[in-house]
Structure 1
Amino acid sequence: MTTASHPKPPLIIRGYLQTVRVLAGLCMALIVGIMIAQVFARYVVGDSLIWAEELCRYLLIWLTFLVLGLAYSRGEFVALDFVPTLLSPRWKWVLSAVMAVPILFFLGLMAWNGYDYAARFDRQTIPALDFIWESLTGAPLGLSIRWVYVSVTVGLSLMALHVIADLIVRFRPEFLNNFDPKDAAPAPSGDLS
């Protein structure tokens, strides 16, 4: 839904959002499919897929970090919006830009530390994928578990892109051209005398 405070994003941003939605949907479809296979194997066949829970956990981690940015772009995070509702659109954007600085700093710091943490596990492999691949081909896949842990870095970087994209989408040239300091406070609603 497009409003005055959230105009329709440019084509590149819409394409990016659609790509993230598709990837998140694929992760969810895989989780559901694997869990259905697990229930079938356990209760119908009488045997359990020992790799299903682990693989679903990793997919859920990636899914979470993918939809984190989508939730931000849709305004679905808990927010205290008392002050922004009192401001004009220009000052709402200024407040958003000021608030984006510590948010982006935090996201960058956490993404950096997430990457550092993921790098420590480069030699450890993903057991579930090794088991599946070895049962199919006779040799383990050897995919590093770093690809699971790097989801923190990727997810927080995507979140930073959503914060930046939100500022760009809501920015309009008329904010700078007609910047008036008296818009900082709302007009009085009535005479107090």
Structure 2
Amino acid sequence: MSKLWRAYTGAIEAFCCVGIAAVLIVAVLQVYFRYVVGSSLYWSEELMRYLMLWIVAAGAGISYSRGQFLGMRLVVEKLPPALRRGADILSAALVLIFLAVIMWYGFIFSWGTRLQMATALNISMFWVHISIVVASALLAIHVALNELFGIAKEPSAEAHAMGAEEAL
């Protein structure tokens, strides 16, 4: 699982980096064409918006596994270990139910917009809106693996920093 997990996270990180680079390139081109050439790229803003949706959809699960989501755990951390684990499992179950609802209605919404076309890019809006389903599914996988099965949890940046400080 470790090699598979590393390959998965590497692919998601590569996708996000390429997506962010594409957004940067398109933004620079848009500024160049608008202010130097005097002719705007009519499709640039729409492309950047949809790329950002897909970048967030792909990267949300990785961020969750790295502990980069905000959480209010003050009360939970004060509980005894058994109750803390119970609260974590209950929380994960509620999040998974919520994500299942989002996936269900997100797919219904996406399918309903399959015949609509993006104004500038001329692609089906299904491909834009299905990012909701993809984000929910990937996040659900990360929540289940981390909270219910105790695997695929990656150390946060703070934990890396603390480990480096302790090594000194």
Which moves more between the two structures, 74-83 or 86-95? 86-95
8 Å CA contact 2:46–2:121 kept in 1: the answer is no
Are 1:118 and 2:110 matched, yes or no?
Answer: yes
- The secondary structure found in structure 1 opposite 2:120 is helix
Question: Identity rate of aligned residues, in percent?
Answer: 31
Q: Which whole-Å deviations, capped at 9, do the CAs of 1:11-37 have from their partners, x for residues lacking one?
A: 322222221111111111111010011
Q: CA deviation at 1:85?
A: 2.7
8 Å CA contact 1:41–1:48 kept in 2: the answer is yes
List gaps (5 residues or longer) in structure 1: 1-8, 131-142, 172-193
Q: Which whole-Å deviations, capped at 9, do the CAs of 1:85-113 have from their partners, x for residues lacking one?
A: 33566654443222111100000001110
Equivalent in the alignment of 2:45:
53
2:150 is aligned with what amino acid?
V
What is the RMSD of the two structures over their aligned residues, measured on CA atoms?
2.1
Equivalent in the alignment of 2:17:
25
The aligned length equals: 151
Are 1:160 and 2:121 matched, yes or no?
Answer: no
In 2, the alpha carbon distance for the partners of 1:87 and 1:17 equals: 32
In 2, the alpha carbon distance for the partners of 1:52 and 1:95 equals: 45
More helix by share: 2
Equivalent in the alignment of 1:169:
150
In 2, the alpha carbon distance for the partners of 1:89 and 1:21 equals: 34
In 2, the alpha carbon distance for the partners of 1:119 and 1:72 equals: 27
Are 1:83 and 2:75 matched, yes or no?
Answer: yes
8 Å CA contact 1:93–1:170 kept in 2: the answer is no
Match of 2:120 among 122, 128, 131: 128
Scaled by the length of structure 2, the TM-score of the pair is: 0.80
In 2, the alpha carbon distance for the partners of 1:111 and 1:62 equals: 15
Scaled by the length of structure 1, the TM-score of the pair is: 0.71
In 2, the alpha carbon distance for the partners of 1:99 and 1:151 equals: 24
1:153 is aligned with what amino acid?
V
Equivalent in the alignment of 1:149:
129
Q: Which is greater in Rg? A: 1
Gap change, CA 1:157 and 1:127, over 3 Å in 2: same
2:125 is aligned with what amino acid?
I
Gap change, CA 1:96 and 1:11, over 3 Å in 2: farther
